[in-house]
A and B are shown apart, each in its own frame.
Chain A
Amino acid sequence: MQNLSYFARLWRNLARRKDVEQELDQEMSAYLSLLADESSPREANLESGGIHQLKEQVREAKAGFFMQTLLQDVRYGWRMLRRSPTFTIVAILALTLGIGATTTIFSIVYGVLLRPLPYPDADRVAFIFDHFSPQNAEHGTMSIADYLDLEKGNHAFETIELFRQSLFDVTGAKDPEQVQGAYVTAGVFAMLRVQPMMGRTFLTGEDAANAPGVAVISETWWRHALGADPNILGRKVNLNGVPTTVVGVMPASFGFPRPSYQVWANVRLKPPTFRGPFGMHGLGRLKPGVTFAQAQLDTNAVAHRIELENPKTYHRMTMPVVPLRDGLVGNIRAALFAFLGAVFLLLGIAAVNVACLLLARATAREKEIALRVSLGAASGRLIRQLLTESLLLSVLGGGAGCVLAYAGIAALRAWNPGNFPRIDEVRLDGMALGFALLISLLTGLLFGLAPAFQTGRDKLASSLREGGRGGTAHAGRRRLQSALVMGELALALILVTSAGLLVRSFVLLGQVNSGAQAPPENVLSMKISPIPSTYRNSDQIIPFYQRVLERVKAVPGVTYAAISDSLPPDRQNDYDTFVIQGQQFAPGETNPAVTCPIVSPDYFRALGVPLVRGRFFTDHDVENAPPVVIISESMARRYFPNDNPLGHRLKASGPDLNGSPYMEIVGVVGGVRYTGLDDQPADAYYQPYAQTMYYQRTNLVVRSAGPAISLANSLRSAIREIDKDTVISDVNTMEEALGASVVGPRFRTLLLGGFAFCALVLAAIGIYGVIAYSVAQRTQEIGIRMALGAHRSNVIRQVVIEGLRLALAGTALGIAGAFLATRLLASLLYSVKATDPVTFAIGPLILIAVALVASFLPACRAAMVDPMIALRHE
């Protein structure tokens, strides 16, 4: 009750100040008049000690006094800021930039790396992978056989589930459509502890070999593609040609493993006849009390038993256990932390910049402050006033920064630069706003403290006497200012160098050739997915593609048409090991797996892959003809260093797989990059589709004499003429595919380049401020020198040299810092070392050039000084 009345009074004191003051006034005058009745007015006044002081004493005792002075300080600070709008705008812009960028990147780091996953106790769930030779993927996929062994043999997990990502061709509803989804075992939903919003998830046993097709779909897909059909449960759709009953709808918040997943169908665990095919991701929930390390030992023991029992398939086998979040986030961590480091540097630069501006402004306010001290202001009270002003600045900057961050996040989400997992979960939430407030206050304190204490230390009496004219009292402030600018330049150089390294590596990446020499805008590709139920085996698939190729070749404008399951620069479909006839292996050893595209005869011509020796495939390389193969140049060099590979024979899948025939090498072609432009051209062997086709889904590639994008529609209708249910997706030119493959590096380069540019601008403002300040301080001195006959050029040189000295010192510091900092970037660089001498030479040059320009402007102003005016200058 008492507290309540206290707050009521606090509110009254703050909000209805006029009433409170009026009452106080009345009370005091009544008191004085009563006192006056007893004695003379003079005595009364003496006894009361002066009515104003008395009132002030009462005010101090009242609730909210602290807040009242704070409000007073804020009001006063606001007036001071408005009085020098240029200073205020520059300072707030710098802070907006710093805080906005930091908050944006923080939101991404938080959303991607730190925000809890939307599944209960998700930190107990793990991905389980296969890692073995010759598959050699660190986080490789497993087969059903591995899964069954793991489920039976492990002791660490409550359950083990599987999922296999798949594009689903959906037919039977409206237009054929392709949606992202996964085949999952029946227990996945229960293991993730999620509930459907309608219907049910899978029942135990619905992943059996003979189970009917059932699917759970996402709320998003249900609303958008199925018109939010209220009778959706029990409805049948065709998924990859399999009639499937929809049994449940998951709320939109569920998107496993990613929000883009719309359909989860039951996987059917057919008893495996061999250790394959791979492509399954294992998932498990740890038993209570079991750690990840213990689980790792447990799965490795299982892997070891599997290896002992299947020595022909696996070597050096382990089963890595990876926490769910790490598995979902992948390798984005390094880039995110680089960004975070960069924005903190930027924030530091902004803060130092504002500190410099505040120091410079402190000079202009010396008279005011000296006056306040002489009127009795305590130095603590003054520092508080100055800190209030800097906090006011930083809070304004922080507010604007939040707006900037909101826009930044929206832009990033709209752009979604390819490789950001969980980007849909990134938003400007309470956590990000709290972070923005925190860093605003911290930077406000940081950049406010130095100038405030410097002011507190100044000999104010002397500055009052000097009337604010620069004297020796300013030396300390100027030293501090110079030190700050040097630090600022050093930070800026770290950013500029880092961005320089990324730019260099991106430029080099842009010069990389995918291996396809046709003009990229003249090559168009699209993914073709015929319905699996119509084209069950190669007897049906091969004629289908033959017809497609014939029909497509007849489309006006098409020069070459081909199919291939793999495409440069990063669409490797399959890789496998092999053995060359006559090759001898130690037991358990084999050749490493290489890319093995399945292509039609004109594939190399369509892409412009050069023939090195031998021949391309022809229309005669069909099922009953002798099996043939074409190998890449690098593979020829590696395996036939002193020999002509033509005429040798090789076999797919290594020495242990019987049944696959030896194929004669009939050609050697140039290297093509299938695993990204930042990787080496892949060792590859190509097989003709008419001898090996067993995937329904493949890519159509056409080349035309001019830009090929205009062909897209006529190609689409040509294919639909042959089978109207064929799903066509991923239509793009090679130019677009090349661009998309470097979207991650491009994004990193643009972002860091943007930060570095901002840093340069801020550094330029900083050094300009310091030099301009020092010139203003020395107007008289310069005037005297010129009156005594100094040339304008001398004056300019002297001022510029002052700026140059600052720049050199800052650069030296910055190079040292950059050497340490850029090491963290190493994993993001392509064929550039983190200590690349070119970048380390150019970065400082840019910085020094900026510093020269920034100090040249005030230098010119100094040289324009009219000696007579300067001497009278006061």
Chain B
Amino acid sequence: MSDPAPKTTNLLQGTLDLLILRALSLEPLHGLGISRRIEQITQGTFQVKPGSLFPALHRMEEAGWLAPSWGESENNRKAKYYRLTAAGRKQAQAETEEWQRISLAIAAALQAT
């Protein structure tokens, strides 16, 4: 049994959720695909480790934001694909707005000095 995740998860989790939701906004992807896509859309800033990614995927699936389906991967193996549900799209919308608000506020705060 390992210790629970560190306390700083909250902020990171929020970020990770948003990134996953954005990554899936175009098409359903499997785990590795999501991780590559996040790397791509953040221009390599975020490299999501599987130890964070998969727990988040399962949690979000249970929250009803993602729906799983089994499909063929590019190397012809059975892989679990995730797609956004309607609730997931709404969540993506809400979290995007929230982040925009925060980043604007932070940007303003940084400029104020």
Q: Which residues of A contact B49 (CB under 8 A)?
A: 47, 49
Contact status of A27 and B79, CB under 8 A, knowing A34-B30, A61-B55 = yes
**Closest residue to B36 on the A side, CB-wise?**
A38
A62 and B49 CA atoms in complex are apart in Å by 18
Chosen A-B contacts, 12 in total, with CB atoms closer than 8 Å, are A2-B64, A6-B64, A30-B30, A30-B79, A33-B75, A34-B74, A48-B50, A53-B2, A57-B2, A60-B2, A60-B5, A69-B1
Q: What is B's interface to A at a CB cutoff of 8 Å? A: 1-5, 30-32, 49-51, 54-56, 58-59, 61-64, 73-75, 77-80, 87
A751 touches B (CB below 8 Å) = no
**Closest residue to B61 on the A side, CB-wise?**
A9
A377 touches B (CB below 8 Å) = yes
A390 and B49 CA atoms in complex are apart in Å by 40
A30 and B64 CA atoms in complex are apart in Å by 23
Proximity bits, A673-699, B CB within 8 Å = 1, else 0:
000000000000000000000000000
Residues B77 and A30 in contact, CB atoms below 8 Å apart: yes
Q: Which residues of A contact B75 (CB under 8 A)?
A: 33-34, 37
**Closest residue to A3 on the B side, CB-wise?**
B64
Residues B1 and A34 in contact, CB atoms below 8 Å apart: no
Residues A53 and B51 in contact, CB atoms below 8 Å apart: yes
Shortest beta-carbon distance, B3 to chain A, in Å? 7
Q: Which residues of A contact B78 (CB under 8 A)?
A: 26, 30
Shortest beta-carbon distance, A76 to chain B, in Å? 12
Proximity bits, A330-358, B CB within 8 Å = 1, else 0:
00000000000000000000000000000
Contact status of A54 and B64, CB under 8 A, knowing A30-B80, A34-B75 = no
A871 touches B (CB below 8 Å) = no
A376 and B1 CA atoms in complex are apart in Å by 8
A781 touches B (CB below 8 Å) = no
Within 8 A of B (CB), among A23-71: 23, 26-28, 30-31, 33-35, 37, 47-49, 53-54, 56-58, 60-63, 69
Q: Which residues of B contact A48 (CB under 8 A)?
A: 50
Residues B79 and A34 in contact, CB atoms below 8 Å apart: yes
Tell which of A35, A54, A377 touches B54, judged by Cβ atoms closer than 8 Å.
A54
A511 touches B (CB below 8 Å) = no
Q: Which residues of B contact A58 (CB under 8 A)?
A: 54-55, 58
Shortest beta-carbon distance, B56 to chain A, in Å? 7
Tell which of B3, B4, B54, B62 touches A63, judged by Cβ atoms closer than 8 Å.
B62
**Closest residue to A26 on the B side, CB-wise?**
B78
Q: Which residues of A contact B32 (CB under 8 A)?
A: 31, 34-35
Q: Which residues of B contact A60 (CB under 8 A)?
A: 2, 4-5, 55
Residues B1 and A2 in contact, CB atoms below 8 Å apart: no
Minimum-distance CB pairs A-B, first 8: A61-B55, A30-B79, A27-B80, A34-B32, A61-B59, A9-B62, A58-B54, A5-B64
**Closest residue to A30 on the B side, CB-wise?**
B79
Residues B50 and A49 in contact, CB atoms below 8 Å apart: yes
Q: A33-B75, A34-B74, A61-B58 are in contact. List 4 more A-B contacts (CB 8 A).
A: A30-B79, A49-B51, A54-B51, A61-B55
Residues B77 and A57 in contact, CB atoms below 8 Å apart: no
Q: Which residues of B contact A137 (CB under 8 A)?
A: none
Shortest beta-carbon distance, A7 to chain B, in Å? 10
Residues A57 and B31 in contact, CB atoms below 8 Å apart: no
A378 touches B (CB below 8 Å) = yes
Q: Which residues of A contact B5 (CB under 8 A)?
A: 60
A198 and B56 CA atoms in complex are apart in Å by 67
A597 and B29 CA atoms in complex are apart in Å by 102
A53 and B64 CA atoms in complex are apart in Å by 25
A31 and B30 CA atoms in complex are apart in Å by 8
Within 8 A of B (CB), among A401-457: none
Q: Which residues of B contact A23 (CB under 8 A)?
A: 80
Give the total number of A-B pairs whose CB atoms are below 8 A apart: 83
**Closest residue to A8 on the B side, CB-wise?**
B62
Q: Which residues of B contact A53 (CB under 8 A)?
A: 2, 51
Shortest beta-carbon distance, B49 to chain A, in Å? 7
Residues A31 and B31 in contact, CB atoms below 8 Å apart: yes
Residues A62 and B64 in contact, CB atoms below 8 Å apart: no
Q: Which residues of B contact A378 (CB under 8 A)?
A: 1, 3
A300 and B51 CA atoms in complex are apart in Å by 82
Proximity bits, A372-404, B CB within 8 Å = 1, else 0:
000011100100000000000000000000000
Shortest beta-carbon distance, B43 to chain A, in Å? 19
Shortest beta-carbon distance, A63 to chain B, in Å? 5
Residues B1 and A381 in contact, CB atoms below 8 Å apart: yes
A129 and B29 CA atoms in complex are apart in Å by 86
Tell which of B54, B62, B80 touches A6, judged by Cβ atoms closer than 8 Å.
B62
Q: Which residues of B contact A62 (CB under 8 A)?
A: 55, 58-59, 62
A468 and B56 CA atoms in complex are apart in Å by 43
Shortest beta-carbon distance, A104 to chain B, in Å? 41
Shortest beta-carbon distance, B58 to chain A, in Å? 5
Shortest beta-carbon distance, B79 to chain A, in Å? 4
**Closest residue to B33 on the A side, CB-wise?**
A34
Q: Which residues of B contact A376 (CB under 8 A)?
A: 1-2
Proximity bits, A754-780, B CB within 8 Å = 1, else 0:
000000000000000000000000000
Q: Which residues of A contact B64 (CB under 8 A)?
A: 1-2, 5-6
Shortest beta-carbon distance, B95 to chain A, in Å? 16
Shortest beta-carbon distance, A34 to chain B, in Å? 5
Chain A CB count within 10 A is highest, among B4, B49, B64, for: B64
**Closest residue to B50 on the A side, CB-wise?**
A48
Residues B58 and A6 in contact, CB atoms below 8 Å apart: no
Shortest beta-carbon distance, B10 to chain A, in Å? 14
Residues A33 and B77 in contact, CB atoms below 8 Å apart: yes
Chain B CB count within 10 A is highest, among A34, A376, A381, for: A34
A376 and B2 CA atoms in complex are apart in Å by 8
A28 and B51 CA atoms in complex are apart in Å by 11
Q: Which residues of B contact A54 (CB under 8 A)?
A: 50-51, 54
Chain B CB count within 10 A is highest, among A1, A28, A30, for: A30
A377 and B59 CA atoms in complex are apart in Å by 25
Within 8 A of B (CB), among A1-25: 1-2, 5-6, 9, 23
Residues B73 and A30 in contact, CB atoms below 8 Å apart: yes
Q: Which residues of B contact A1 (CB under 8 A)?
A: 64
Q: Which residues of A contact B73 (CB under 8 A)?
A: 30, 34
Q: Which residues of B contact A30 (CB under 8 A)?
A: 30-31, 73, 77-80
A618 and B8 CA atoms in complex are apart in Å by 105
A56 and B2 CA atoms in complex are apart in Å by 8
Within 8 A of B (CB), among A211-250: none
A47 and B48 CA atoms in complex are apart in Å by 11
Chain A CB count within 10 A is highest, among B55, B58, B73, B80, for: B58
Contact status of A57 and B54, CB under 8 A, knowing A5-B64, A26-B78, A30-B77 = yes
Residues A47 and B50 in contact, CB atoms below 8 Å apart: yes
Q: Which residues of A contact B61 (CB under 8 A)?
A: 9
Q: Which residues of A contact B58 (CB under 8 A)?
A: 58, 61-62
Tell which of A6, A37, A61 touches B56, judged by Cβ atoms closer than 8 Å.
A61
